[in-house]
Structure 1
């Protein structure tokens, strides 16, 4: 694969076309909110905006400590025209049972920032639920509350949006207690999304506050024996803790994990297989030592590092920023962005085949799991 010629979220390379919908089960802050990617047989696909609402640009400005007056319009100008090549609310391909990936986003991100990974996995035959966390780690997110006035006549006449901003560290505040607390909520939210998928699979009617495809179409097609948890950065530590706390998750794929939020006592509790796919720049010697400690009870720990990649190389931003923006926000390393994501996806799929007992051909990428590739280095170079 050569250099990325044009900016954009690429189509999946797997055998399936991909449908996509948003699910908000229970409109309150305590409810679940996630984007679901799934195989579709629809011929005509209807792409969806990469950034779902302008408010997310405001949230990103807030997270980046930029002016909420002038920065959101700039972000909108830079990213507002991008779409994700999926079939929005396209019909579900109800032909077989699909393994499941619950995906957890990083700090300051939200449910759509990893569309390229989620879309690729769905094109290869996974159901992928990208959680939008409500622990105040998302750049922003929203839920609904009942309206006081009764003059509105649209579909959500009795509900109004409430936006939840990112929670900043206060001056002098210790970071660990806040993040560890958020981590617990994140794990709970991942488990709750899995509960909802279980209910959908059994035919229980789920009330979705948002318009979507008929979730009842998924009945009997979700393979709840083959469930993995995956995430980037804060989502990486979320996936590790979720694996320790919820036995329904059979393995975890942790992308450039932020290790800080994990408490000391957790290292001895993790017994499932973990795959850490690191960038070349983010991990410190201390965080790598913590990753190695996950091996204490766990012979199925794999750690690889993608050469010349940066922390944002596993997000869509690496594909959507040109030279100027990528320099300003360090969204690109020296590796071609498409190549970096291809390695991440292929390595993850080979690992998932191994630990979810998939009848696929992903084992052709086993060498990546073992760290054997010219684009992999033995450890991050912190350069």
Structure 2
């Protein structure tokens, strides 16, 4: 949303001039003279007040015609964990079976209050809940490996089986001894030039890759858990790390195809549409009509469009390359502005390859 309140604009402009880190992600400033938009801490020379516009969301700045600043990279760095938060997360991951207390964070020079605020805003949960989720996932893997519930509880830092059982049931939905859950969906958040994304994976591969502000995201999470009979837990694995690396290479223009394994549950028809999507060449577009004809079902344009809309794995399964027969961009789960950006991004790098 464009900020129009004069007092708010004065506050944001002062924060921009002072490079106030507290305002990173709070506003995005569009600079009329250069056509770029930035975050509060950008190191570039500060523009005059009359030459800027402030937005509360980077998508609004993109929609207004501004492009991301190459110095501060606003769509990425507005959502990156500050160094103290990153250190706290690494501390947890290095000690999966130990509860990291506020006192221990302070001993490391980390503000627990900062960690709590950032975790609540970006993960939608408290830092302690994030820790519990990691510990329960570790416990689930050990139970699946045949380890006794009592041993798992004590090894995970719980003083009693009852305390461990309560937490486990709250997260998984069943007690450790009665658990029939054999599948978990791991969810990891990372940043991209078009904003943060969630990647969800099973042991087989990626089952979801979406921008975090997708409107239907909660529905997709619920449907995935039902289809796979699994629970979603925030933690990383080889699939999440490979996805983050390959998506980073894609945005840098160094990757055109993906090697990460996929696990996309759906009907036979949906599966056929998603496989066909992956044959649309990098840097090119197709239409719903053309996709239907390739499936030998020219009358099924609406069904093809619906299957495209049901794709949960953005970019890797490139539904952004499908446009209307008349060239219109049509809908896109991540937003039409992102769709247009992705198409132009691919066309630019595809043209560079084709040049002699």
User: TM-score scaled by structure 1?
Assistant: 0.25
Q: Which structure ranks higher in relative contact order (CA pairs < 8 Å, sequence separation ≥ 6)? A: 1
Higher fraction of strand: 1
Higher fraction of helix: 2
> Which protein is bigger by CA-based radius of gyration?
2
